[in-house]
Amino acid sequence: MQDLIETLKIVLRDNEGIGENPIIIEGIEDNALKDINREDVKITVKVFISSPDVNLLKEAIDQVCNSLNINAIESLVIAYSGKENSEDILSSLKHLWTGVEEYVKIGKLSSVGLSDVNTNEFIDLFQWANVKPNIVQISLATCCIVPPALQTFTKENDVQLLTHNDPGQILPQEDLNGIFNANTNVHWVTRYQIHLKCRGILSSKGYLIYVNKQTT
């Protein structure tokens, strides 16, 4: 994610004059959807989050919609990086999933899924959920072979099994502290991608980040 780190440095440098504790720092406006029929594009979002606070997840989704001036997202994947044990991680995922289900019911989300969860966690969440995850992502860096049980389950339940090459830490703490010259706390990072359906190509990509400096 070196490109994200370098971009963040540039955005902060360009906003040096707005004060010590700005509420929002904005980069370049994304005009990829301008003069394009919304039905001709597919928007996918991945939320990197380390807190089970469902309000933070909903905020991340809302901010993408506000930034792109859209009402709905075609595909959402959650990458949860909490430090709990396996049993507690499942509880945290269920808590976050209540927000996903709420947004699916009102039409704000369509396809929804998880990234980097173990097989048992995914199956347990799937069986518990009212709105079933239909996407699961696994990392190419940590999983050379797809777990057979996960492969079987996804085939039997019509779940997309995808791979990704995102790093374990989307924004390493050491890099963030250096960028902000202070101890920081990352609440969430979202990455959105805009695809042209007819051509199957990526039209635009962007990030939204919620970070706060820790005061001493």
Q: How many domains does the chain have?
A: 1
Question: 178 lies in a domain?
Answer: yes
- What is the arithmetic mean of pLDDT over 144-163? 92
Domain for residue 22, yes or no? no
- Tell me if 91 is assigned to some domain: yes
Rounded to whole angstroms, the Cα distance separating 177 from 206 reads: 22
Count of beta carbons in the 10 Å neighbourhood of residue 50: 19
Question: For the chain, what is the mean pLDDT?
Answer: 86
> How confident is the model at residue 23, as a pLDDT?
47
Given pLDDT bands bounded at 50, 70 and 90, which one contains residue 17? very low
Check residues 181 and 69 and name the one with the higher pLDDT: 69
Range of the domain at 76: 1-13+37-213
Nearest Cα to Cα of residue 41 among 162, 200, 151:
200
Q: Give φ, ψ of 196 to 5 degrees.
A: -85, 115
Predicted confidence (pLDDT) per residue in 69-108, tens digit: 999 999 999 999 988 777 789 999 999 999 999 999 999 9
Residue 20 covered by a domain: no
Q: What is the pTM of this model?
A: 0.89
With respect to residue 29, please indicate whether it lies within any of the assigned structural domains: no
Is 28 a domain residue? no
Helix (H) / strand (E) element for 67: namely helix 54-68
pLDDT at 27 over 70: no
pLDDT in tens, 109-126: 999 999 999 999 999 999
Does 26 reside within a domain? Answer: no
Has residue 15 got a pLDDT over 90? Answer: no
Which pairs count as long-range contacts for 167-176, CB under 8 Å and 24+ apart, including other chains?
A: 167/1, 167/141, 168/81, 168/139, 168/141, 168/142, 169/81, 170/1, 170/4, 170/48, 170/79, 171/1, 171/4, 171/5, 171/8, 171/209, 171/211, 175/5, 176/211
8 within domain boundaries:
yes
